[in-house]
Amino acid sequence: MAILVTPQTKVLVQGITGAFGARHTQLSLGYGSQIVAGVTPGKGGQTFEGRTPIFDTVAQAVQATGATDSAIFVPPPFAADAILEAVDAEMDLVVCITEGIPVNDMVKVKRAMQGRKTRLIGPNCPGVVTPGEGKDSHGGCRIGIAPGYIHKRGHVGVVSRSGTLTYEAVFQLTSRGVGQSTCVGIGGDPVNGTSHLDVIQLFMADPDTHGIIMIGEIGGSAEEEAAEWIHKHGTKPVAGFIAGATAPPGRRMGHAGAIVSGGKGTASAKIDAFRAAGIGVAATPSEMAETLLKMM
């Protein structure tokens, strides 16, 4: 098993004809992902590289191909509408890669999604990868921009706010011969669709995931909330790393979500919460995989 996506997942790409969307669609097709449709208004009836049909709307693409998941590579001014179009089409999962969506737009999206069936990953995220069983994990499902070739099929789940640290954790595991069940980059924006806790709960319920690496950053309280849940309900080993421990106080750093308030959101507060919950804390990024493997 895995979480969120499998090698059988049918994916459509919103913004498939843009340079960025086209490049990563090529990479996902090369990885073996089932990219069954593209969506670009005004370009319906064309094909992507002579193989993937393009539609004017998400609803048309879903009806024609049975796609259940969407990857969004739409510019920031139009990305919120793209998300809501996928929600209206009742897709199971929407992975929004777009960086720089106005916060007010995402607040409206979150409100509009309440009570709907669609799960949103992102925005401003690297996406989701469930590795396949083939050479270099080909034949899996890659939705987004993560480098598929560093993955290996196995039993460790990875969830992270940072794209780069997601790749680092995956590479460390694969270099040690340890594969991953699913890797989820949830993004660093202050208003996103899926939290650390959401993904941790899915990993805990997944029989194919035997251990978890959780990577957080300064700002917000999502990591503390996940740690509290793990302390009460966790059944599998979890190792964690918090980025930003050396950030100077009083200065905004990195991701838009890096806002510290009310004594929560600091690196020390998150690390203390991890330790109190029995989560193994990696002192540096280079120790993430080793920390988990020692626990396992």
Going through 101-226 in order, the beta strands assigned E by DSSP cover 119-121, 127-130, 141-144, 153-160, 180-185, 211-217
Residue with tokens 């599998």: 236
The tokens of 113 are what? 């999604």
Catalytic residue among 24, 138, 196, 255: 255
The tokens of 102 are what? 């106005």
Determine whether 43 is exposed, middle or buried from the number of CB atoms within 10 Å of its CB (0-12, 13-18, 19+).
Answer: middle
Q: Is 262 helix (H, G, I), strand (E, B) or coil?
A: coil
> Which residue, among 205, 141, 135, has the nearest Cα to 174 in the 3D structure?
135
Q: What gap in Å lies between CA 149 and CA 290, rounded to an integer?
A: 21
255 catalytically annotated: yes
> Which residue, among 144, 102, 141, 136, has the nearest Cα to 120 in the 3D structure?
144
CB atoms within 10 A of CB 27: 17
Going through the chain in order, the beta strands assigned E by DSSP cover 10-14, 34-39, 47-48, 52-55, 69-72, 93-96, 119-121, 127-130, 141-144, 153-160, 180-185, 211-217, 238-243, 280-281
Asked if the peptide bond before residue 126 counts as cis, ω within 30 degrees of 0, the response is no
For residue 217, which phi and psi values (nearest 5 degrees)?
-140, 165
Residues with a known catalytic role = 255
